[in-house]
Structure 1
Amino acid sequence: MSQDKNRRGPSQRRRELSDHVLAEGSVSASDLAERFGVSLMTIYRDIDELEREGILRKFRGGVTVQPSGVFESNVAFRKKTMRAEKEAVAAKAAALVEPGMSVMVDDSTTALELARLLPGVEPLTVVTNFLEVLNLLSDERGLHLMALGGDYDRLHDSFLGVPCVEAVEALRVDLCFVSTSSVYGNHAYHQEQRIVAVKRAMLKAADRSVLMIDHSKLGRTALHRLAPLSTFDLVVIDDRTPPDVLRSLDESGVPYEIAPTGA
């Protein structure tokens, strides 16, 4: 067993290391060294490389894929979290979609849950930069699918950058659905400036925009301000949202709807 571990090349070990941290959420460096049969120095070199690639982030004595104010978890981890809440929020938001509309969805995992419901509302034009949504809907004959190009980012499984922003700016859609990683006070935030640029362009390209968030995003900080909540025509949140947040939305005049999770 240990001989097999030692025969792993650095690339294979790093892939297995990232998969293990993805499954666990957070792991100490000493546990990783023991698991992979290598020295702490080797593990820290692996961690440094994976952090440089944006796959995970270091903390004192270990590594994690959990988000922070400057680090967004990769799409594989985000797909695993808050599934019931995201499904509930997506179902509530999908009720706004009517046959014949043009709909733009971002590269959030909440938007992915929404996309799963769109084949039931045909005919429909769906515009997205999220490769997983494109693959999900590519065989749906009742949907006109439009891909937003740009620089492919494998951690988000989406297309970003100036070409993507310009592609968005050339369009006008009926509805835009976005999510984000943080809502603090009366503003939505995100850790990455390039993601913010695409989301802002999407909001400007839509007649109506909807922010879909689950309660885990509330009170969390992130580096870049996306937009005031008042920018959105509707905020959809799950029923585990604290009452004080709902009061704040009421006082700010932000329109919102609560999605029941059935929990």
Structure 2
Amino acid sequence: MSTETQSSSNRERDERRRVILDYVLEHGQASAATLTEVTGRSLMTVHRDLDELASRGLVRKFHGGVSALPTSMFESSSDFRKQRNAQVKKALAMTAVELIEPGMSILLDDSTTVLELAKLLPSKAPLTVLTNYRDAIDVLVEEPEIRVIAIGGTYSKTHNSFVGSPHLTGLDSYAVDIVFQSTSTMDGHMTYHQEEDLVLMKRAMLDAGTRKVLMMDSSKVGRTSLHQFVPLAAFTDVILSDDVPRSMFTELPENVLLHFA
């Protein structure tokens, strides 16, 4: 099989699995027979897809079908997050990269939104990039003009990142030019995250930066999660997708710059 044919086959497979995930998340559960109708593929192919999705912790397989895991588990999964709103995340990254100049030091969190920014960083090299996200490390580690510093603690397979208490990560010893982050949800005044240990690490990351940039698409706006992260006023810049209502942010402090992608 040629490289081009293999690439096309992989895209088709990934899109089919996105369709399956979306259907299961919307309906709570689905039989394999139903998913053959939804995808237009054979029962054998659907079972292979379900085995792979279950092995990645995205669905729970039972005899004859699958069910959705709790929403918090979906939102924690790096694999699942990478498949959500991919084009919007790319647009946010295109806006964010314009804030970067060659020679800067940059800190990236383990959000899939910020991962799209990591893919654009070679165009701004030379750079020093700190991150706890394995995907971002993989993207950048072979770039000759980008110095990569891995931070964090214990590896989390769910997040595909290294997570540790702030006093164990060494984050308090760094001072970077810009921190780029995303988080679970936000309203007009506060940001939120569903996991307490990640809140603590994200706060330590934010403290390390001179300029602090939040990147959020509209699916995260106007909602809350279990734990408060930081007020929007803790950021110097907030980059939002263009479909977010401007009326939500009429009371932001003057020090916060709004950008729309």
TM range (shorter): 0.7 to 0.9
RCO (CA 8 Å, sep 6+): is it higher in 1 or 2?
Answer: 1
Match of 1:217 among 205, 217, 220: 220
Check conservation: 1:25, 1:66, Cα contact below 8 A.
no
Check conservation: 1:237, 1:256, Cα contact below 8 A.
no
Q: What CA deviation, in whole Å up to 9, does each residue of 1:10-42 have, x standing for no partner?
A: xxxxxxxx999646442544625988x9xxxxx
Q: 1:31 maps to which residue?
A: 31
Q: How far is the alpha carbon of 1:81 from its aligned partner?
A: 1.2
Q: What CA deviation, in whole Å up to 9, does each residue of 1:113-140 have, x standing for no partner?
A: 0001100111100000000000011110
1:4-83 equivalences under 5 Å are: 22=21, 24-26=23-25, 27-29=27-29, 31=31, 55=58, 63-64=67-68, 67-68=71-72, 72-83=75-86
Query: What 5-or-longer segments of structure 1 have no aligned partner?
Result: 1-17, 38-45
CA distance in 1, matches of 2:178, 2:24: 34
Q: 2:106 maps to which residue?
A: 103
* Distance change (3 Å), C-alpha of 1:143 and 1:252: same
Q: Give the TM-score of the pair, scaled to structure 1.
A: 0.75
Check conservation: 2:18, 2:83, Cα contact below 8 A.
no
Q: 2:90 maps to which residue?
A: 87
Check conservation: 2:89, 2:116, Cα contact below 8 A.
yes
Q: What CA deviation, in whole Å up to 9, does each residue of 1:75-120 have, x standing for no partner?
A: 1111111122111111111111111110000000111000011001
Q: 1:123 maps to which residue?
A: 126
How many equivalent pairs are there? 225
Q: How far is the alpha carbon of 1:257 from its aligned partner?
A: 3.1
1:159-178 equivalences under 5 Å are: 159-162=162-165, 166-178=169-181
* Distance change (3 Å), C-alpha of 1:94 and 1:55: same
Q: 1:4 maps to which residue?
A: none
What fraction of aligned residue pairs are identical, expressed as a percent?
40
SS of equivalent to 2:138:
helix
Q: How far is the alpha carbon of 1:185 from its aligned partner?
A: 3.4
Q: 2:149 maps to which residue?
A: 146
Q: Write the letter of the residue equivalent to 2:250.
A: D
Q: Give the TM-score of the pair, scaled to structure 2.
A: 0.75
Q: Write the letter of the residue equivalent to 1:160.
A: V
Q: How large is the Cα RMSD of the aligned pairs?
A: 3.2
Check conservation: 2:29, 2:68, Cα contact below 8 A.
no
Q: Write the letter of the residue equivalent to 2:237.
A: L
